[in-house]
Amino acid sequence: MTAPSTYGLSTQARNLQWLLTDLVEEVPGVNSVAVVSSDGLLLLSSDPATGAAETGRPAGPAKGPRGASADLATIVSGLGSLTTGAAALMECGSVKQTMVAMEHGSVFVMAISDGSLLGVHATPDCDMSVVAYHMALFVGRAGHVLTPEVRSELRQSMEKTP
């Protein structure tokens, strides 16, 4: 496996990339993962084509919403906005997790403490409780690390990626 370049990144940013890679590699059924800032910008991605984290899986051509982390980031941001608005209208507090089960896959969205979102696209036969559990672990470990400085650093590293 060829790791993405982490040259010049802080320890916190490298640790977040490692956590994301670990989530993709260790959880059966996970296709792609994206971390999106509260303003909808992609911060971390499991898609090697976007350069944020190498998963050991073939990169291949982008497959649209079925696999590309940039598309997943757009979907995650939209679902996050929609569910936050719904929770506000229903006066139900903040949204903790959203899950959309489809015929050929699932999308999970989980809030991170700073307003960022973790999104996972998984296969239809994944164990949803295992995916949710590992997402909660990621959120617990990443929430305190996603400071404004680290978010800015991650955004800049995504912009530099060809």
Rounded to two decimals, what is the model's pTM?
0.82
Local structure of residue 109 (DSSP, 8 states): E
Give the E-state strand segments of 37-150 in sequence order. Answer: 42-45, 97-102, 105-111, 117-122
| Dihedral pair phi/psi, residue 9, rounded to 5° | -85, 150
How high is the pLDDT of residue 6?
A: 55
Give the model confidence (pLDDT) of 31-82 as tens digits.
999 999 988 889 998 875 544 443 344 333 344 444 467 889 999 999 999 9
Give the model confidence (pLDDT) of 80-116 as tens digits.
999 999 999 999 999 999 999 999 999 999 999 778 9
